Amino acid sequence: MSIRWSLVIPVKTLVAAKTRLADATGPHRTKFAVAVASDTVAAALSCPVVARVIVVTADPAAAGPLGALGADVVPDPDRGLNTALRAGAAHAGRLAPGDGVGALQADLPALRPAELAVALEAAAEFDQSFLPDALDVGTTFYGVRPGTPFTPRFGGESRAKHLAGGAKELCVPGVDSVRRDVDTPDDLRAAIALGLGRHTAAVVAELWPARETGA
């Protein structure tokens, strides 16, 4: 079964973003966070089964660049990640009630549109489903088919939470870029090995010009 998707991408206030990369990025942490979110949004918008990307944020430093890429930016109610996702999903439902709705983490700098399409095609087979992160602890994608209640359970050990909530775990090969979120220097090294999007690659080259592939 093939359906079209509205993807909701939450972007937290950038002063609070990527704190575990603070030592590596120094004063460029905000710039790095914007670059990572930009690559995530750009790849999602290039995915053939994605009809629209809705960014939920309260930060104008993120809203401007991501809106310029083509995302539909809506305000964050500032009551936690899952509330932000539900706000974005409600907006998606008003725009296109016949499309699937998915939540996608904003920190996927190596995201490939073709791999995202594989994950979304798999998700279209289930009322609600999710894709675990590379560590099999968190979640990078949660989605529902049209007409199914949207009940994201991100935060902490969200893989277990989504399983407990009845969501189907997607076990699809060849979607490493969709599972590789970046929170730590080790995560960033793994994303570099997969191949960064152009926005993040430019910041990495600026921060670590002598060792672009070993940041």
Summarize the annotated binding site for phosphoenolpyruvate as residue ranges. Answer: 139, 155, 158
Binding residues: 139, 155, 158
- Tokens 């305000």 sit on residue: 75
> Which strands, in side-by-side order, build the sheet including 139-144?
72-75, 50-57, 5-11, 100-104, 139-144, 128-132, 168-169
Question: Comparing C-alpha atoms, which of 159, 209, 211, 213 is closest to residue 188?
Answer: 213
| CA-based R_g, the chain, Å | 16
Could you tell me the CA-to-CA distances from 173 to 103, 115, 122, 195 in Å, in that order? 20, 9, 11, 18
E-strand ranges in the chain read 5-11, 50-57, 72-75, 100-104, 128-132, 139-144, 168-169
| Alpha carbons 93 and 97: distance in angstroms, whole number | 4
**Overall residue count recorded for the chain in this entry:** 215
Instruction: Specify whether the CB–CB gap between 173 and 115 falls below 8 A.
Output: no
